[in-house]
Amino acid sequence: MVKPFLCFGSAPRAFHKIVYHEWYYEKHRELGRSFTRYEGVTPCISTIDPEFIKEVTVKQFDNFTDVIDIDFSPGQTTLDVSRGDTWRALRKMLSPTFTTGKLKFMLQPIEGIADSTIQFIEEKVKENPEMDFKPIIQGFALDSICKVAFGMETKCHSGENNDLLELSKGIMTDLSITSPTMNFLWNFFFHFPELIKQIGFWPEGAVKIRGMTKQIMKERDEKDIQIGDFVDRLRDYKKVAKAPITDEMIEAQGMVFLLAGFETTANTLGSLIYHLAIYPEVQERCVEEIADNIGSDDITHENINHLEYLEACIMETLRVNPPATEHDRSCVKDCVVNGIKIRKGVQIKLPTYAAHYDPEFFPEPEKYQPERFLKENADNIIPYTWRPFGSGNRVCIGQRFAMMEMKLFVAKFLAKFKLIATEKSGVESQKGFYAFFMYPESIAKVEPRNHSEE
């Protein structure tokens, strides 16, 4: 147990001074697969035990349906923080957005955005072959979400529509704990969690995105426009929604769809670019696979699924640098899990990063080894140890979309460019990000592939 200090809860308390996921990693090394602590006034169990996680997220899901013990206002209730029957209704509403048919529909517009992004990179290479990929990749991910979810034509990847990009990036900054003042506020909320319900969890930037979603829906209703995308799914659901779902709640889903699909995808792509640059043998194996399976053909949903080694690289990148370093559950009724009595209100913390670096789960965890995730090695992965998308019934709803988007971009990029590491290459964790792996830049040198082959 990490003992609490008086009424102030257990460490960590100075979030602005630590890398959050590294603290949990060290504590699990010290205390074992499971330990207890207090987050403010809330008792917590932190565990990376796969059997315990299976019980909580699957077998006893009805006892742990929620991620947080707070009922937010309708305009703040997004899928990720919704509870009980509200979560079930929202999940049912949004799941059809990611069927195989819908993913095929999304592929072509994303390919066009990828082409435009790669063309922009091609122009930048002429000025300076060494570049920071992070803002470009963030722009690509945001452009993709804006197009397939909201029907918006944006060019954030090239620096246009910068206000939207800065707004989206600013939301993550607003959720960070990088100053003593923000650290005090977070600790204050941990002691008085009900205040979050009154004040609201989502920052002003996210509320603007909710307003943008509402406005797009209104304009399409007035002009009788039907595209068949995420926004249209929300419009259709508004017509048949019943309690506990409200119009405000439906509009709020635009916030989480944009943010979850933007930052996590960009984060992973930036990390992948770094690893491909420092491991040229991995990069070249990806290039060979892309040539063998796609070559000069058009990218399709079918042939992109044949890029098994590239997918393994993405999965290994998500193991090494998971964008979300923890996912939680809240106990909604007294129960017993693996012989441990758990009372209603106890928070179950499921650190991702700590599990991904446990040598009993992933031998030599510091090594970047995509082969871990090839189909022939699937039996070596212990279920519920690799959890970048969460686990169980509340696993990330957009997982297949994210994998398709990343494979598409990397396949097109590596067919044209070679990545080379420089002295500036690296992805360093930033302090003050609660449950997120964040880094300031992803720098690599780029060479046109045909030039390097000559």
User: What digits encode the pLDDT tens for the residues 403-429?
Assistant: 999 999 999 999 999 999 999 999 999
Q: Determine, yes or no, domain membership for 5.
A: no
Confidence (pTM) = 0.96
Integer Cα distance of 248 and 237 in angstroms: 12
Q: Is the pLDDT of residue 451 over 50?
A: no
Integer Cα distance of 79 and 256 in angstroms: 7
DSSP string, 313-356: HHHHHHHHS-SB-EEEEE--S-EEETTEEE-TT-EEEEEHHHHH
User: What digits encode the pLDDT tens for the residues 119-152?
Assistant: 999 999 999 999 999 999 999 999 999 999 999 9
Q: Determine, yes or no, domain membership for 187.
A: yes
Per-residue pLDDT, 453: 46
Q: Determine, yes or no, domain membership for 8.
A: no
Residue 83: strand, helix, or coil:
coil
- Supply the range of the domain harboring residue 411: 15-453
Nearest residue to 213 via CA among 237, 236, 230: 230
Q: Determine, yes or no, domain membership for 404.
A: yes
Q: Which CATH number do you get for residue 263? A: 1.10.630.10
Question: Considering its fold, how many domains does the chain have in total?
Answer: 1
Per-residue pLDDT, 21: 97
Q: Determine, yes or no, domain membership for 293.
A: yes
Q: Determine, yes or no, domain membership for 432.
A: yes
Q: Determine, yes or no, domain membership for 41.
A: yes
Q: Determine, yes or no, domain membership for 7.
A: no
Over residues 25-36, the mean pLDDT reads 98
Going by pLDDT thresholds of 50, 70 and 90, the confidence category of residue 452 is very low
Name residues whose C-beta falls within 8 Å of residue 236's C-beta, 6 or more positions apart in sequence. Answer: none
